[in-house]
Amino acid sequence: MSTVSTAIKPALTPPEPLPHRDRPLSLRNIGRTIATGYVPLILVTLVIFLPLLWMILSSFKSPGEIITTDLKILPQNPSFDNYATAANKVPFARFFLNSVIVTVIGGTIKCILAVSTAYALVFVRFPFKRIIFILVLVALMVPPQMAVLPNYVLISSLNGQNTYWGLILPGLGTAFGTFLLRQHFLTLPTSIFEAAEIDGAGHFRRLWQIVVPISVPSIATVGLVTLVSEWNEYIWPLIITTKPEMMTLPVGLTLLSNSDSSSQAWGVLMAGAVIVILPILIIFAALQRYIVSGLTQGSVTG
C-alpha cells in the first residue's frame, strides 16, 4: 500500500502557475504597441507621402516660393499658372491620349495572355510544361532592362519606331502575372473541372465560364499592377519614340524638362509630374483593395 501511495504522490503536485500577462490596456502593452506598430507605420507613411505632398504644393507656388532660403510649406498665392504653362509648352493632351491607348491595349492583352498561359500551365497536359514554368520564373528574375537593346534592334528592323504597336509589342509578356495566376489556379477545387469535363466542357469554356469568374480578385490584381506598370513605363517609350506626337506622359515630362532648364521651371515641372501621376494614383487608390484580396486569395485553406 505504501508503494502505491508513493507512486501516486508525484501526480498530486499542484500545477505550475500560468505566466503573468499584462492587461490589454496596461502602460506596458500600450507602449509596446506604439513603439513596434504605430511609430514604424507613421515613419513609412511620411517617407512615402511627404515627397508627393511637397510636389503637389509646389505645383501651385510661384518660382520665388520654391527657390528661396525662407522655407514656405503652403503656397502664399495658389494658382494654376504652372499647369497652364506646362500645357502650353508641350502637348500634354496628346501625351495623355498616347498613354491611355498604350496602357489600355497593352494591359488588356497582357492580362489575357497571363490568364490563358497560367491556365495552360495548370490544366493542360503537354510536354515540357515544367521546363516552360521554370523559364517563366527565370524571366521573373531577369531585369527587364536587359531586353531593351534586343527589342530595339528587332522593332527598328520592322519599322516600328514611333508607332503604337512598336510601343506595345515588346511588353506583352508578363512573368509576374503568369506566376501569380498559376499559383492561384493550383488552389482551385479539381472537382469542379472534373464535373465540367464530364459534361463535355472544353478548355475554352472551362477557362471563361469557371476559372475566370471565381478568380476575379487575382485577375483584378494582375490587371491593376499591369496598368500601373504600363502607365509608368519610361525607358522603352523614351528609346522607341522620337516624335512628340507619339510620346507618352512620362517621356513628355522629360521633354518638358528639356524645354526649360532654368530654376524658374521647377513649379512647371511639378505641375507636369502631378498631371502624369494623378490619373493612375486615383485608379490605384480606388482599386487597391483588389491587390490585398488577390494576393491573399487561396493562402488560407481548410
pLDDT of residue 107: 92
Confidence class of residue 294 from pLDDT cuts 50, 70 and 90?
low
Nearest to 207 by CA among 291, 118, 301, 132: 118
In the predicted structure, residue 237 carries a pLDDT above the cut 90? yes
What is the rounded CA–CA span in Å between residue 281 and residue 264? 27
What is the rounded CA–CA span in Å between residue 23 and residue 273? 49
Q: Residue 233 in contact with residue 171, Cβ under 8 Å?
A: yes
Model pLDDT for residues 143-193, shown as the tens digit of each residue:
888 889 999 999 999 999 999 999 999 888 888 889 989 988 988 888 888
Q: Where are the domains of the chain?
A: 83-296
Mean per-residue pLDDT over the chain, rounded: 83
Question: Hey, which of 56-70, 107-121, 127-141, 257-271 has the most confident mean pLDDT?
Answer: 107-121
Lowest mean pLDDT across 15-29, 75-89, 214-228, 234-248: 15-29
Question: Hey, which of 26-30, 181-185, 287-291 has the most confident mean pLDDT?
Answer: 181-185
Q: Residue 297 in contact with residue 184, Cβ under 8 Å?
A: yes
Q: Residue 219 in contact with residue 107, Cβ under 8 Å?
A: no
Residue holding cell 520564373? 137
Lowest mean pLDDT across 87-96, 120-129, 258-267: 258-267
pLDDT of residue 16: 62
The torsion angles phi and psi of 266, rounded to 5 degrees, stand at -65, -40
CB atoms near residue 278 (< 10 Å): 11
pLDDT of residue 302: 42
Residue 195 C-alpha cell reads as 464535373
CATH of 83-296, one of 1.10.4010.10, 1.10.3720.10, 3.40.50.300, 1.20.210.10: 1.10.3720.10
Cβ contacts of 38 within 8 Å, gap of 6 or more: none
Residue holding cell 504597336? 165
Q: Which residue has the higher pLDDT, 295 or 92?
A: 92
Confidence class of residue 301 from pLDDT cuts 50, 70 and 90?
very low
Lowest mean pLDDT across 22-31, 81-90, 174-183, 252-261: 22-31
